[in-house]
Amino acid sequence: MSIRNVRQSGDEILRKKSKEITEFTPRLKVLISDMKDTMNKLGGVGLAAVQVGVLKRIIICKPNENESEVVLINPEIISKSEETLEDKEGCLSVDGYIGTVIRPKSIVVRAKDENMNDMEFDAEDFFARIICHEVDHLDGILYTDKVVPGTLVNDNEEVDN
């Protein structure tokens, strides 16, 4: 078990574009395992590799507490519903804040799994939201770029000194 340092907003790496993965290596296996440990330790529902400082197109999502993490390599959103949903989001790289973001209600995702097999699936609601948020990370976009104006608030009960 290995917890990695999560980069925080303001760190330039979060604004860079992550690179496609062409070969699954033992190093990537360790990275994914560490990403899972890190996300679970911090109570997150999604994490992109760039958030732990690795510019590779890998995301993990955990839409349901009782299910294991979904690992997506080179994920692409190939279609989005016109119907949208508005809901609150947070990000492990924007510690302590939440804000409202409008996302498609449903999407179609194409990605590779950990065996580099192609997959395509539909995602809806909260799962779709997480995937959209994480895929944005791979292109250097943070949810704070898209937040509905005036909705970004500090979620901490205690005020930082």
**Residues in contact with 131: Cβ distance below 8 Å, sequence separation at least 6, in sequence order:** 46, 59, 61, 72, 75, 77, 107, 109, 123
Site residues for Ni ion, 96-155, by CB under 5 A, read none
CB 87 within 8 A of CB 101: yes
Residue with nearest beta carbon to Ni ion: 91
91 lies in the binding site for Ni ion (CB under 5 A)? yes
14 lies in the binding site for Ni ion (CB under 5 A)? no
CB of 58 to Ni ion, least distance (A): 14
70 lies in the binding site for Ni ion (CB under 5 A)? no
CB of 19 to Ni ion, least distance (A): 19
How far is it, in rounded angstroms, from Cα 48 to Cα 133? 9
- Quick check: is 134 catalytic? yes
How far is it, in rounded angstroms, from Cα 128 to Cα 116? 22
Question: Which residue of the set 114, 134, 157, 158 is catalytic?
Answer: 134
Residue 119, token pair as written in the block: 């997959």
> Given the rule CB under 5 A, which residues bind Ni ion?
91
Catalytic residues: 134
